Every structure is written in structure tokens, then in C-alpha cells.
Structure 1
Amino acid sequence: MREIVLDTETTGFDPETGDRIVEIGAVELMGHMATGRTYHQYINPERAMPEDAFQVHGLGDEFLADKPKFAEVGRAFLDFIGDAKLVIHNAAFDIKFLNAELKWMKLPQIPWEQAIDTLAIARKRFPGSPASLDALCRRFNIDNSSRTLHGALLDSEILAEVYLELIGGRQPDFGLSGDSQKPGSDAAPEWTPRPRPTALPSRLSEKEAAAHAAFVAKLGDDAVWKKA
């Protein structure tokens, strides 16, 4: 199962009043494991960066001036996420901005059903407790000391760790979910680990191997080990 842990940074709170996306960061998970594949893009918002937004993100007008506009990267972004589930903290906020930008480009909208909201999961698991990303990092002992400013890619990497803790660890279903490849199916699994370039050495000692050979020799020619 492919998932994309996603975060955006914006100039404000409402795209309908002129606020725009200034940064997108995303981390790919496959079977709840990070693949190392990421998406990261700074974006020219085509407007001045408000002072309060600059203080939060540390992204100023001069830095963003030569960055591409969303219209130049929107299609590549959609190609990256595909139909994967989008893991987002406070998904309504990010989806609202992304869909506004996509609508202005006349590109397909992201359906709400594609999002997994970690804020909603946290509030359900820990009712009445703080559910911010920083609060969840403290709860799960996740190091977020490098998060002095809000940055989309860093926040996505941190959120990926938080998400895995929220759902019960890196392999919450022990690979027994219905998404696993069924025996006899011709369909290839979405992702499998790569084989080791060099086989692991045997952990049997010479003495143990000799003892096993002697034991098998006593079983006669019908021993299953001799038929292999």
C-alpha cells in the first residue's frame, strides 16, 4: 500500500482571500515503511509574504522570487502523489489550499476520501489531550529539535514517524491485510524488498554441521534431507 505523508506551508489561512502555497513537502511510504523517495518544492506565491507568515516559515519575498509558480509544478505534484492515500495533519487545511491551486489550473481536485487526517486520529485516540505535531512528538518521544521553523519537508518526515506511532507501529497488521498479494494471483505486489547482494553466512558451526550430517546418515536413504 502506497501512502504519501504531506505538508504545505502557506502565506495565510484562506486561499479565497488571496493566500497561496509557498512550500510543499512529501514523503513516500510503502507498506508503512519510508522508501526514501520524497517530493519537495518551494513556490513563488505571486504576492508579498506577510510578516507573520515570514516569522513562522522563515521564507521571504527575495528567497521565493525565483521559485516556480504553482502553475509550473502542479502537474508534476499530481503525478507524484497519484492515487496514494495522503497522510496530513489537519488535512482540511492543506486539501483546501491544494484544491484551490489545482482549480485555478483547471486540474483534477483531490477528493477528501484520499486524505488520512492524523489530527482526527490523535483526537480520537487521546481525547482532551493536545494533538499538535509538537505535542505528539513529545508523547511518542520523537526528536523534533530541528523544527525551529515550520518547513514542509521536515514536518512531513516528522509526521511520518508520528503517523506510524498513531497506527500502532511500522507494521500494524503484520502484513496480513487484505492488500497483500493472494496466493495464486497473477498480480504482482506493489513493492517487495530487494534481495541481499550477498547471502548471509551460515550460523551453524562446523561441529554442529558435522553432528547434523552424522544424524542424517543414520536415517537411511529415505531421509527427506537426502531427497532435496
Structure 2
Amino acid sequence: MSKMILDQFIDKHDWLQEMCRNMPEDIKLHWKIRNYKIGEQVCEQDMEVTHFYILVTGELAVERQFTDGNAYTLSTMQPGFVVGDIEISLNMHFINRVYAIQQSTVLLIETKIYKNWVMNDPYFLRRINYQLAKKLYVAGQKTISSNFHTVRKKILVYFYDFFQSFSSIAQDSYVLVVSREDIAKHLGVSVRSINRVIKDLKDKKIVSVKHKRLIFNEYSRKQISQELAE
């Protein structure tokens, strides 16, 4: 990619301009832009790390497959997140699988060139350290949730977080389009547990189900908020 094309691409995103403000000119020649469709894999668990990635648009999921065959979604990534930083620092293969859950665009650069950039750009190194700290914090919060929250509370928190994505103004309905398998993967619980909690919520008129849509209303939000506060 030419420097001009890269500069034009970076200039579209203020946060990316800030991240790359001290990038050496010779490094700019080595970047590539890649687009990923929903479900397309960015990297595979245990695969050799050949590139460092910056997510520019879209959303990625980080998934871990365990020896029992179950796969769980550990986290999601939004624009500004990077992929490969931990593994490159430790000289390891990819720890998890990463794939697109929205149409996504990433910048990628070969590992050896990324290492050279980090060594010669203290500001960028601080940004990477911030990303590492953020990942550790999220992982710590998830560990606390996994160890101390009941399955029901995990599911209710998941629904409550969904409500929080809306404005504070009461809504006529909140429609969550997601499969029970995806909820189970995200929370690290069984589909059977998801089914049991949703059935109870249906019986209490807190949720209705249509195809893969979970339909809530303002009563639902208040009831779930109240139970979480107890």
C-alpha cells in the first residue's frame, strides 16, 4: 500500500490518527487493508502469528475452544482494539480464535515490522500497554462473574446490559436478536441453563420469544433491574 493511500485511510478516523501520529514513514509502506464478512475468521486458535491487526470498523468476537469441544465467547472487540499484541510480546501462537460478528475492516502488518515499530515509537508502545491493561481488566471482571455469579444472574446481567444500549427514555419494546447458543457461548454456560431461565421469564411475562428474537418491554426492564438489585 502506498503512503498516500494509508494516510487517506487514517485521516478518516481521529483515534487512528492519534494512534499512528509518530509512525515512521518507512513503516507506512507495509500496511494492508482487509475486509471481513460476518462469520469470517481473522485468526485461528493455536495458529502462528504472522501479522498484527488493528480493528478500524465493525466488531470482532474472541472465542476459546476447550478440550471438551465447547467453545465460549470471551469478549468482543470494537474499533481501536488490536489483535496479536499479547501473542507477539510472548512469542506465542494465537491464544484464541477471532472472527467477525459485523462487517469489519482491519489494518494489518507483518509481525517483524510491527516489532520494529513498537521498539522505535514510545507513544505507540504506551497505547499498546493500555490495550493490554484493558484486556486484563475485562478478563478479571469476567473471572469474578464466572466464579461468584449464579447462572441466572449472569443471564439477567446480559439482558440488563442489552437494555443499557438504549437511551434512558422508556421504550415500547426491546428486541434482542440472538440465538440461545450464542448467549451460552458468550456467558460460558450451557444452552440448557439458558432455556431454563428464559422459560421462567416467559412464565412470568418478562420476555416473549419469536424465532431468534427475545422481546422485552419496560416492565421487563424494571423487573430484571429489581431482581439484580436484590
TM-score in same-fold range (> 0.5): no
Pick the structure with more strand per residue. 2
Question: Normalising by the residue count of structure 1, what TM-score does the alignment of the two structures yield?
Answer: 0.22
- Which structure has more relative contact order (CA 8 Å, sep 6+)? It is 1
* Larger fraction in helix: 2
